[in-house]
Structure 1
Amino acid sequence: MTHLRLNGLLLVALVLVSLVAIFAGSGGAAPAALFDTGGALDALVLRELRLPRVLLGVLIGAGLGAAGAVLQGFFRNPLADPGVIGVSASAGLGAVICLYFGLSASFALALPLAGVSGAALGVASLFLIAGRGATATTLILAGVAVNATAGAVTALLMNLAPNPWALAEIAYWLMGSLNDASWTEVGFAAPVILAGLMVLAPLARGLDALGLGEETARSLGIGLGRLRLAVILGTALVVGGGVAVAGAIGFVGLVVPHILRPLVEHRPGALILPSALGGAVLIVLADLVTRLLSGPGIPLYLGVLTALIGAPFFLWLVRHSQRRAP
C-alpha cells in the first residue's frame, strides 16, 4: 500500500467516524441542524457540545499518535509512548499543581502552560536518565522512574487536598475525558497541539537517518542535538496541550504506530502522518463508545477505556519482543 493511499484511507475513516460521533446518540439530529440559527435544542447540542468534543478528540488523538511515532523512531524501539515513558504523567502533574494551587484562575493559559511544562520536564528527565543509545529495557526502567515520581507527587497533592470535592475533581480529571469539551477548551488546546505537530512533522528525515545509526545520521548532516531538542519540544507541546484540557489519556501513542508500522515499510519518518490520523480516529471512536455506554450517574471515562485497550496490547507487545529477541 502506498503512503498516499494509506493516508487517504485514514483521512476518510476519520471523516466518517467524526460524522458518526457528531450525529449518533440520544437526541440525534439531522445534519441540517448544524446550520440551524433558530436556537433549536438539537442544533445547540450539535454545535456547542458534540462538534467541539469531536474536534478536541481529533486534536488530542493526532498529537498523541504523532508523538508516539516520533518517540518510537527516536529511541528505535516499539515500546516508547508518551504514557508508558512518563510524559503523560508528568504533564498531568504539571496540570494538577496548577489546579491545586489555584493558578488556573490566574490567567487563561495557565493550565495548558502547566501541562506543557510538566510534559517537557518529563521528556527531559527521561532522556537524562536513559542516556544515548538506550535499550528497550533502559527506556522502560527510565519511564517507570519518571512515572513513579510524577505519580507519587500527584498522589501527595491529592492526599493534601483541602476538601473531598477538590480531591474528587482532581481524581476524575486524571481519568481523562472529553465530557466537558467546549469551544473554550478547543481554543486553548488547538494552538498548543498544532504548534507541537508543526515541530514534529519535519523530523521525518532525521528519524529515517537515525534508524540507520547515529554515525550514519551525522554523516548525512543530521544534528542529533537539534533533533533531540525538537523531539522534547514537540512531544511536550502535543502531550501537554492534550492533558491540560482532557486529563491523562494513555496508550494511543503506543498502539497506533505499532499497528500502522508494517504499512509504511517500518520507516520511522513515514509513520508520523499516518499515526496522527490513526490516533485521531482511535480517540474519536473511543470517545463515541464511552458516550454511548455511559449511563445516568455512571460515566465511563475515555482514559479508562484506552487503558483497558492499551494495557493488554502492551503486555502482548512485550511478550512478542521477547520471543523475537535472540
Structure 2
Amino acid sequence: MRLSLRVLSIILGVSIAVLLVILMLFGDVSLSGDMWLDALVRWKSLPAEIVWGIRLPRNLAAVGVGAMLGMSGALMQGLLRNPLAEPGLLGVSAGAGLGAAFAIVFGFGLVPFAVEGAALAGAAVVAVILIVFVQRFPQRQSLILLGVGLSSLCGALMALVLNLAPSPVTRSEILGWTMGSVQNRSGFDVVVCLVGLAVASSLTFGLGKGLRFLTLGEETARSMGVDMTRLTQVIVIGSSLLAGLSVSVAGVIGFVGLAAPHFVRACGIRDPYLLIWPSALTGGLLVLVADGLVRLMPPTADIHLGVLTSLIGAPLFAILAYKSARSWMQD
C-alpha cells in the first residue's frame, strides 16, 4: 500500500482525533447524560474535572509520549541506517529509568516533579557521554557499541538499585515506573511533550539533505559535503531529548519507536527525513490505542502500558530481525 505523505498524515491525524473522542467516553467512573451536560456547561463541577482534568490530559499525554518515541525512533533509524534501531538502543531510556529509580530510592517520590527531573537528568548524562564520544568517533558502528554498553551498564545499576531498595514499597514504585503508564497525567505533562517535540523539530530542521545522502553510505555522504560529526550530534541530542522526556512523563515504554517508522515505510514513504513526522503521528496513535486497551481490561489485571507495548512489540522485533538475517544471507 502506497500513500502520499499528505494522505497518510491526514489519515493518522483523523484517526487520533476520533480515538481521542471515543476514549473520552471511557474511564473508571461511568458518566450519565446529565453528568456529561454538567461537564460541558459547568466547568467547576465534578464531571468536568473527570472529563477535562483527568481523561483529556491522559489521552493527550499518551499521544505526546507516543509522538516523541515515534520521532526518536525515526531519527535513530535514519542515522544508524538500521531498521532495528529504536530510542533505547543508545541507552538513553535506560539512563532515564535509572535516574528515576535513584530519586525514588532516596525518598523523592512524593516531591512534585522530582522523579521526572531525575529521569531527565539521567537521560542527559547518557546523552552527554554519547555526544563527547561522537566528537572523536562519529562512525555509526562505534555509536551502537557504546549505546549497547551504556544500556547494559544502566540495566545492571538498575538491578543493583532494586536489590538495595530499603522497602518493598520502594521496590514496587521503581518497578511501576519502569513498566510505564500515562495514568493520572496532567496538563503540565502535555506541555512537556509539546515542548520536547517543538525543540527536537527545530534541532532536526534542515537535516533532510544529510539523512538522504547518508542512505548511500557514510563515505558518499562525506563526499557530498555532509558534516557527519554535526549530523550525528544533532540527531543524538534530538533523539535523546525525546526519549528522556518520554520516560520522565510516562516511564519506560518500549518498541513504539521501533514499530512506528516501519508502519510508515509500509505505507510507501521511504525518505528518512519525510518519515519523521508521520512516525511521530503513528507513535502517538499506537500509544493511544495501547492505553485504550489497558483501560478496557478488568481492574484485577493491572496491566501497565509499557508491558502491553512490549508484548506487542517483541514479536514485531523478532520478525524484523528474521527478515534482516535473511537479507544478509542473500547478500
Structure 2 counterpart of 1:257, from 241, 261, 267 = 261
* Residue number in structure 2 paired with 1:15: 17
Partner in structure 1 of residue 42 of structure 2: 37
The CA deviation at 1:260 is: 1.2
Closer/same/farther in 2, CA of residues 290 and 43 from structure 1, 3 Å limit: same
- Map Cα deviations across residues 229-278 of structure 1 (whole Å, 9 max, x no partner): 21121112111111112110010010111121143442111110110000
State the match for 1:245 in structure 2.
249
Counterpart of 1:214 in structure 2 is 218
Q: Which amino acid aligns with 2:157?
A: V
Give the conservation status (yes or no) of the 8 Å contact 1:63–1:238.
yes
Q: Deviations over 1:198-256 (max 9, x none)?
A: 32454333211221222333344432222112112111211111111211001001011
Whole-Å separation in 1 of the counterparts to 2:15 and 2:217: 35
Q: Partner of 2:99 in structure 1?
A: 94
Q: Is contact 2:97–2:178 with CA below 8 Å preserved after alignment? A: yes
Distance 1:123 1:254, change over 3 A: farther
Say yes or no: does 1:83 pair with 2:85: no
Structure 2: how far apart are the matches of 1:7 and 1:208? 21
* Alignment of structure 1 residues 176-325 onto 2, 5 Å: 176-296=180-300, 298-325=301-328
1:71 has 2:73 as partner: no
Q: Quick one: distance in 1 between partners of 2:56 and 2:206?
A: 29
Number of aligned residue pairs: 322
Distance 2:231 2:117 in 1: 23
Contact kept in structure 1, 2:294 and 2:304, CA below 8 Å: yes
Percent identity reads 39
**Which residue matches 1:3?**
5
Deviation at 1:83, TM superposition (A): 2.6
- In 1, Cα distance between the equivalents of 2:233 and 2:148? 22
The equivalent residue for 2:58 is 53
TM-aligned CA distance change 1:191 to 1:101, over 3 Å: farther
TM-score (norm 1): 0.88
| Structure 1 residues 42 and 273: CA distance shift in structure 2, 3 A | same
Cα deviation digits, residues 56-84 of structure 1 (max 9, x gap):
11111100000000100000110100134
Q: Name the aligned partner's letter for residue 250 of structure 1.
A: G
Inter-CA distance 38–258: structure 2 relative to 1 (3 Å threshold): closer
The one-letter amino acid paired with 1:319 is: Y
Q: Determine the C-alpha separation between the residues in 1 that align with 2:292 and 2:186.
A: 16
**1:270–1:255 CA distance, 2 compared to 1 (3 A):** same
Of residues 26-35 and 316-325 in structure 1, the stretch that sits farther from structure 2 once superposed is 26-35
Letter in 2 for 1:69: A
Question: Where does residue 168 of structure 1 map in the other structure?
Answer: 172
**Counterparts of 1:98 and 1:215 in 2: how far apart (Å)?**
44
Number of the residue aligned with 1:151 = 155
Question: Please, what is the CA RMSD of the aligned residues?
Answer: 2.7
Distance change (3 Å), C-alpha of 1:201 and 1:285 = farther
Deviations 1:274-317 (A, max 9, x none): 10000000001100100111414x42100000000111110111
Instruction: Name the CA distance, whole Å, in 1 between partners of 2:208 and 2:109.
Output: 35
8 A Cα contact 2:68 2:196, kept in partner: no
- Residues of 2 paired with 1:42 and 1:143: CA distance? 47
Q: Is the 8 A contact 2:290 2:305 kept in 1?
A: yes
Letter in 1 for 2:306: G
Structure 2 CA distance for partners of 1:316 and 1:35, relative to 1, 3 Å = same
Contact 2:58–2:185 at 8 Å: present in 1 too?
A: yes
In structure 1, the gaps of 5 or more residues are none
Pair 11,165 (structure 1): closer, same or farther in 2 beyond 3 Å: same
Contact 1:70 1:207 in 2 (8 A): no
Q: Which amino acid aligns with 2:26?
A: A
CA distance in 2, matches of 1:33, 1:201: 44
Shifted more, 23-32 versus 35-44: the winner is: 23-32
CA distance in structure 1 between the partners assigned to 2:54 and 2:61 by the alignment: 11
